[in-house]
Amino acid sequence: MNSVWTMAAAVISFGVTGLLGKWMVPFLHKINFGQTIREVGPRWHQKKNGTPTMGGFMFIIGIFVAAAICLPLFYVLSERSSLDMLMRTKLVSGLLMALGFGAIGFFDDYIKVVKKRNLGLNVKQKLILQFLVAGAYLYSLYLAGASTLTMIPLVGSINFGAWYWILSFLGIVGIVNAVNFTDGIDGLNASVTFFVSIFFLLISGVLGVSGIGILSAAAAGGCLGFLIWNFNPAKVFMGDTGSLFLGGMVCALGFGLNMPIIILPLGIIYICEILSVVLQVTYFKATHGKRLFKMSPIHHHFEMCGWSEVKICAVFSLVTIVLGAVVVWCVMVGV
């Protein structure tokens, strides 16, 4: 029964997302919601100027439709309608958290595209809004009786006490922004997040957490459906609307399994992307103008080294697959 609804969630999300592109891409063109490419980026990206953005709405709708259909039916038909409050909160609040981050991304995209302010929201505005969304999500878990115990593969349960909430508060915002930095070339963010979602699906199967498995399948299906339109050469970009939403989804899946620590190895590409930006800025300031990388985030560094966008997507996805396989093995050994 579980596998049926997991597959259904993936297929529905994939189908809705893919089919939406046939309407949304022309619509975004029609209303001139095109991306303005910054001159500080790789010069060959200028040819992408005007490519429709905010395409993240496609998989946001696909994932929500799949979750709204499959989660209730699974719990009713499998006679698990008495879903405990904590798991219900993790599923519903997790989706709402992702939607909240997506809304922040939409405001950012709207300012860039409609108001013609290329940088969108400033850093302070973004962080305040992001911390509010993260805080609301964690508060909902607290009210639902969430424990400060967290599972670490091969180690066991560790009680972080009050530090759990502090680290989670900072960690969610950090991961969401790391996922956002991963969006910069055709297909990269959707490809990496597809494999991250697949490994969350496998881990949820090992642990027997069916609801998170269905949500993971929906996320994977949405990313795959979006790649139909976003793979190089991209016909649409996800924008901050999509990348911040995906960051929220990744966090929702990790916390839903009570293993937020595994987001770090599963999302090693996200971590490398945001660290490359931090290191670049720090080194630039410390050396009064010297650069550690040819360009950051690090996917642009590899572009400047001559890698094609397709090659970067393939290599970064392969790294995710290798680390994901290691994490699944660790979880299986630790069960």
DSSP E strand stretches across 146-260: 149-152, 156-159
Q: Amino acid letter at 42?
A: P
What was the pLDDT predicted at 118? 61
Judge whether 242 and 108 are in contact, CB under 8 Å.
no
Distance, in Å, from the CA atom of 276 to the CA atom of 75, rounded to the nearest integer, reads: 43
Distance, in Å, from the CA atom of 43 to the CA atom of 221, rounded to the nearest integer, reads: 33
Distance, in Å, from the CA atom of 13 to the CA atom of 220, rounded to the nearest integer, reads: 8
What was the pLDDT predicted at 130? 97
What was the pLDDT predicted at 289? 86
Judge whether 54 and 28 are in contact, CB under 8 Å.
yes
Distance, in Å, from the CA atom of 33 to the CA atom of 112, rounded to the nearest integer, reads: 9
pTM score of the predicted model: 0.94
What was the pLDDT predicted at 116? 65
What was the pLDDT predicted at 38? 59
Distance, in Å, from the CA atom of 78 to the CA atom of 7, rounded to the nearest integer, reads: 15
- Judge if the upstream peptide bond of residue 297 is cis by omega within 30 degrees of 0: yes
Q: Amino acid letter at 281?
A: V
What was the pLDDT predicted at 113? 82
Q: Average pLDDT for consecutive 10-residue bins of the chain (335 residues)?
A: 86 97 90 65 62 93 96 76 78 97 94 72 92 97 92 89 96 97 94 98 93 96 97 92 97 96 97 96 90 92 93 97 96 82
Judge whether 241 and 288 are in contact, CB under 8 Å.
no
158 beta partners: 150
